[in-house]
Amino acid sequence: MEKNPENPVAAQYDKIYSEREAAFNSGKVSPLILEVGKFIPEGGKVIEFGAGQGRNSLVLAEQGFSVTAIELSEVGVNSMNRIAKERSLQNFEARIGDARENLEGEYDSVVSILMLHHLTRVEAEEFILKIKEHTKEGGVNAIETFTSEGDFSKLPDAKGRFYPELGEMRELYSDWEIISFVENKSMATATRSDGSPMFNIKTGILARKPFREVL
Ligand SMILES: C[S@@+](CC[C@H](N)C(=O)[O-])C[C@H]1O[C@@H](n2cnc3c(N)ncnc32)[C@H](O)[C@@H]1O
């Protein structure tokens, strides 16, 4: 996909990533991501949507998986590819792309960390159906997102965006094996008008696609 200069989300994150080297969670990998490798084969195919600056995708590539990182921000993509080159990770490719586009192929794992709140509810539900379909049998999805409980979901630009209810992500994966499911209070770097930190209940799910029964 070509860079789309008119996409305000891409522009927002281009700015953030130009100003900060490790914009989210101080660049530390999400604990959920460290679980992924326990459930997929050595060298398995992984795709991440909304990969940002690569704090998760690059760790999966370092673990030997074959990783594609999709991201709207060109600055994010360039930064991930530069780091991968510095670390001689030939099994990693970041490219500009949109989670709402068609997806080709099948993956051992599909990952998305703190991206879904940028999609509308309809887009997010379509996205989840799509990644489930493009996951191999026995493969896993790892998703972390903000729920409707917390400050982010009440911001003016959150209207119509996907902030699942408590328990909803588990429901969306009720036809898969739930390996882990958490809902935790987390502090954001963004602040309220009085300067106090914003809080959200974040949810994280790791779910495995069942093998089709052979009769
Ligand atoms: C809060 S950041 C999280 C980045 C990264 N996953 C992390 O946890 O460090 C959200 C990211 O999702 C990306 N994003 C938002 N909407 C997207 C879309 N439709 N397709 C691909 N990436 C998207 C943004 O550009 C941004 O980099």
Express each pLDDT in 44-66 by its tens digit: 999 999 999 999 999 999 999 99
CB-CB contact of 53 with 80 (8 Å)? yes
For 157, other C-beta atoms within 10 Å of its C-beta total 10
Q: Among 24, 115, 130, 203, which residue has the most ligand 1 atoms within 8 Å of its CB, making it the best to mutate?
A: 115
Q: Is residue 3 part of a domain?
A: no
Q: How far is CA 95 from CA 26, 73, 75, 130, 201, in A?
A: 22, 9, 11, 19, 30
Q: How far is CA 83 from CA 14, 93, 135, 138, 180, in A?
A: 17, 11, 27, 31, 30
> For position 199, which CATH number holds?
3.40.50.150
Give the pLDDT confidence score for residue 212 in this predicted structure.
Answer: 86
Q: Is residue 114 part of a domain?
A: yes
Parent domain of 85 = 8-208
- Sorting pLDDT into bands at 50, 70 and 90, what band is 4? low
Asked if pLDDT for residue 213 goes beyond 90, the answer is no
- Listed range (23-32, 69-78, 106-115, 116-125) with the worst mean pLDDT: 23-32
Q: Is residue 176 part of a domain?
A: yes
Residue 9 alpha carbon to ligand 1 centre in Å: 9
- Listed range (3-17, 58-72, 84-98) with the worst mean pLDDT: 3-17
Q: Would the pTM count as exceeding 0.85?
A: yes
Q: Is residue 141 part of a domain?
A: yes
- Sorting pLDDT into bands at 50, 70 and 90, what band is 98? very high
Q: Is residue 87 part of a domain?
A: yes
CB-CB contact of 196 with 159 (8 Å)? no
147-150 long-range Cβ contacts below 8 angstroms, 24+ apart: 147/183, 147/200, 147/201, 147/202, 147/203, 149/200, 149/201, 150/198, 150/199, 150/200, 150/201
Q: Is residue 162 part of a domain?
A: yes
Q: What is the mean pLDDT of the chain?
A: 95
Closest Cα to atom 13, ligand 1: which residue?
Answer: 50
**3-class secondary-structure state, position 16:** helix
Residue 15 alpha carbon to ligand 1 centre in Å: 13
Asked if pLDDT for residue 194 goes beyond 60, the answer is yes
Q: Is residue 215 part of a domain?
A: no
Give the pLDDT confidence score for residue 6 in this predicted structure.
Answer: 79
- Sorting pLDDT into bands at 50, 70 and 90, what band is 2? low
Using a 6 Å CB cutoff, which residues line ligand 1?
9, 13, 24, 49-52, 55, 70-73, 76, 98-100, 113-115, 118
Summarize pLDDT for 151-193 with one digit per residue, the tens: 999 999 999 999 999 999 999 999 999 999 999 999 998 899 8
- How many domains are there within the chain? 1
Q: Is residue 92 part of a domain?
A: yes
